[in-house]
Chain A
Amino acid sequence: MKRFVLKRFVETVIVLYLALTAVFVMVRLTGDPVLLMIPADATPEFIEQFRREMGFNKPLIVQYGNFLLGAVHGDFGKSLRQQAGAISLVIERIPASLLLTTTSVFIALIASIPIGIFSASKRGSLMDKLGTVNAVFGQSIPNFWLGLMLILVFSVFLRWLPTGGMGSWKHLVLPALTLAAYSVARITRLTRSSMIEVLQMDYIQTARAKGLKELKILWKHALKNALIPIITITGLQIGVIFGGAVITETIFSWPGLGRLLVQSIYFRDFPTVQASVFIIAVMVCFINLTVDLLYALVNPEIREKSMV
């Protein structure tokens, strides 16, 4: 087990290093932050001076070296957009992002598991078909469109919920629903297929033959085994949602990590973009690592296989 943990840990470090390098290179391909910052009537001498002061005149390799050195110490430099350290701006946003992520995962789980189980037990029924249609929609509707439609219906026409921002539980409903849509669809489909597979197993047939109630068979005997892949997918899904709430957070003015990332990209705020990507990468790696370790803990087969 120790070797397994060590191996996964080394892999995580490599992934983080690659993520850092990729973001360093990519942000520098997109434009010059100095030109976006200075007023239109600034003289070329003024611009050059600013470039020097910001350290953008140094060779790229020196900038890269400084960046990696800083990153190791958790120092990503000062934000170019706001007067604060990049990493502290990012850390400020984590609670809002976590709140949105956990709420939407929670919604996804309580909506998708019962629908999935029901669809599996009543295959071909109207409800099953509706569930399938719902899943197709959930996976194919772009979430910026869904978000705007939800605002139009629930905020503009019905006036039940606010259009955006963060303040009370009402502000959380629409962004969480928008973000959950994709996961609901995915987890529903997975629960359904996983349950169908389990329901065809011999021990379920035995349970039925013994005259156990269908409800008990579904919830107590079948679901337990069917849940294993669902937990894995949910774990991965948390990572996807956490890093992928960019559009939803922007539409609903939710002050999370995704929105910070978008704004920083528009502004070419290199330090904040790098710090945001790093933190998102750390979170995703951490969640994946936790899921893997938990899995290995409960299922020795996995840890043996992964060592081969």
Chain B
Amino acid sequence: MKKFRCIASMAFVFLLIGFFCLPAGMARGETKVIVGLNSDARSLDPVLVMDATTTRVLRHIYDALFFRDRNMKVIPELAESYKFVDDLTWMIKLKKGIKFHNGEPFNAESVKFTIDFVLDPTNKAFTRTLIDRIDRVEIIDDYTVKIVTKQAFPTLLENLIEVFMAPPKFAKEKGMGYLSDHPVGTGAYKLESWSKDREIVFIKNESYWKGVPQIDKVVFRIIPEVSPRVSALVVGEVDLIPDVPPHLINQINNSKVATVKGVPGRRIIFVGFDNIMEGPVKDVRVRQALNYGVDIDEIIRTVMEGYATRTPGPLTPINKHFDPSLKPYPYDPEKAKKLLQEAGYGSGLNLTFHSPQGRYLKDKEFVPAIAAQLGKIGVNVKVVFYEWGTYLKSLGRKFNDIHINGRSDRELEGGIMYAWFKTGAQWVSFSDPEIDKELERTMPIINPKERTNAFKQLQAKIQQAAPWIFLWEQHDLYGVSNRLDWKPRADEQLYLFDAKVKK
């Protein structure tokens, strides 16, 4: 009995210690918005890491030289204006009078310091991949920098959107790594506290150069599971959650506390072909047949419940060089069968369909639906599902026949097609010398008109070569509290600076 008492009293002591460690509540009377995220930011350093969640958080502390407006157009942010001097040189004028949270002025030195830091491989900054075509940055005067690139870099401005500006004096004094936990930016919010994997609390920057934010405090609370995240929204514990699964939409809309808002996002979903390995999809007729053989509009309407927008070719309306006159492959099973017959598969065809599970919106549902439709044109499809990490290991290298892929690229310029279709590029299992040649010719074109025209032709060529079954762009679904006036953006950013709490 003594032992039992001993265990019981020890348990009590642990409980007491635990409660004393818990944080105190927050002050009343302030406008506070709580965002429920599925994972924590990996660092609050401006340039070191860049996954979707971290960037969503960082965007509140830091600004960049350029920014996307609501229509996804690239506009100057910390930059005032830019001039394109020649194929390799850009002149960027900076806004004056902007200060970092610690009072340090933002100027040409900040730009040079940040970009030099990113470009130095020893710093292992992930953002290096965005701007590694930059050769050097030169300071012309306090508020003008010259950026010289190693090769033509038409997407420079766009790629600078996620290179957040760091305060050089502070970073040199403390070391850039210090910013990981003690961020200092020019942004709308300042860090108040960060309890890892629990919550990040931001407080508004009273002297923000764009104006004082209406929301006093922004809290990012980490709720890893989707079901509790939705529960937290419908009981009013959180005000905003990204990535709502379609089957929970009604629960949110019926709650009278929150509403689901959707926006066509930048993630495109497609069925990729592997024409590098030997197999039936090496034949372009087979690839075209599969494009004719899937009733994509029907799948969007039924399986996807309308939360997807069809893409006619490789690009979507949010891409800069999207060709709106390009018509998608019509659903034509007869034509599909004819093409298969011409290719020598009139008596049927067996294919393996590789897909991740739980990675893309409703993948577990739409993949069998596509397989079933292909069955109708005589293509016998065997579906194999994988866990995402395992899938990633084989993607672009080891999947024969057909596989599902989704891409969400930061770059929204037409030039992104290079990363999607160039032989040997990461994740790419398709090779067409004609398209390679065309990509090489188009990529360095700087003149905007010529570039748009070239990309238009390229989209048509790619559609004909059918490296994918062009499916759709996934809609990003957000659960938004009715007390919050906030609109979703196509680039997955939450950006609460211009949001308002309804009085």
Interface residue ranges, A against B (CB under 8 Å)? 30-32, 35-44, 46-47, 49-50, 53, 81-83, 89, 92, 95-96, 98-99, 102-103, 105-106, 109, 148, 151-152, 155-156, 159, 162-169, 172, 223-224, 227, 231, 234, 250-253, 255, 259-260, 262-263, 266, 268, 294
* Chain B residues closer than 8 Å to A166, beta-carbon distance: 22, 198
A241 smallest CB distance to B (angstroms): 12
Closest to B39 in A: A263
Is B234 part of the binding interface, using a Cβ–Cβ cutoff of 8 Å? yes
Interface residue ranges, B against A (CB under 8 Å)? 1, 3-4, 7-8, 10-12, 14-15, 17-19, 21-23, 25, 39-40, 42-43, 45, 48-51, 121, 124, 126, 128-130, 132, 177, 180-181, 195-199, 221-225, 227-228, 231-232, 234-235, 237, 387, 389-390, 392-393, 407-411, 416, 419, 424-427
Closest to B390 in A: A31
Residue contact A155 to B11, C-beta cutoff 8 Å: no
Residue contact B221 to A165, C-beta cutoff 8 Å: yes
Interchain CB contact (< 8 A) of B18 among A99, A231, A259? A99
* Chain A residues closer than 8 Å to B427, beta-carbon distance: 40
How far does the alpha carbon of A53 sit from the alpha carbon of B499 in the complex, in Å?
41
Closest to A235 in B: B7
* Chain B residues closer than 8 Å to A92, beta-carbon distance: 196
Residue contact A231 to B3, C-beta cutoff 8 Å: yes
How far does the alpha carbon of A82 sit from the alpha carbon of B17 in the complex, in Å?
27
Residue contact B426 to A95, C-beta cutoff 8 Å: no
Residue contact B18 to A95, C-beta cutoff 8 Å: yes
Residue contact B231 to A167, C-beta cutoff 8 Å: no
How far does the alpha carbon of A54 sit from the alpha carbon of B429 in the complex, in Å?
26
Residue contact A46 to B195, C-beta cutoff 8 Å: no
Residue contact A255 to B195, C-beta cutoff 8 Å: yes
* Chain B residues closer than 8 Å to A83, beta-carbon distance: 42-43, 45, 48-49, 177, 180-181
Residue contact B234 to A231, C-beta cutoff 8 Å: no
Interchain CB contact (< 8 A) of B228 among A38, A40, A109, A252? A252
Count of CB-CB pairs between chains A and B under 8 Å: 167
Residue contact A155 to B426, C-beta cutoff 8 Å: no
Residue contact B419 to A156, C-beta cutoff 8 Å: no
How far does the alpha carbon of A162 sit from the alpha carbon of B235 in the complex, in Å?
9
Closest to B129 in A: A42
How far does the alpha carbon of A263 sit from the alpha carbon of B17 in the complex, in Å?
26
* Chain B residues closer than 8 Å to A227, beta-carbon distance: 1, 3-4
B57 smallest CB distance to A (angstroms): 13
* Chain B residues closer than 8 Å to A259, beta-carbon distance: 197, 224
* Chain A residues closer than 8 Å to B12, beta-carbon distance: 106
* Chain B residues closer than 8 Å to A260, beta-carbon distance: 197
How far does the alpha carbon of A229 sit from the alpha carbon of B440 in the complex, in Å?
75
Residue contact A155 to B231, C-beta cutoff 8 Å: yes
A84 smallest CB distance to B (angstroms): 8
The answer to whether residues A32 and B392 also contact, given A43-B426, A106-B11, A163-B231 and a CB cut-off of 8 A, is yes
Residue contact B50 to A39, C-beta cutoff 8 Å: yes
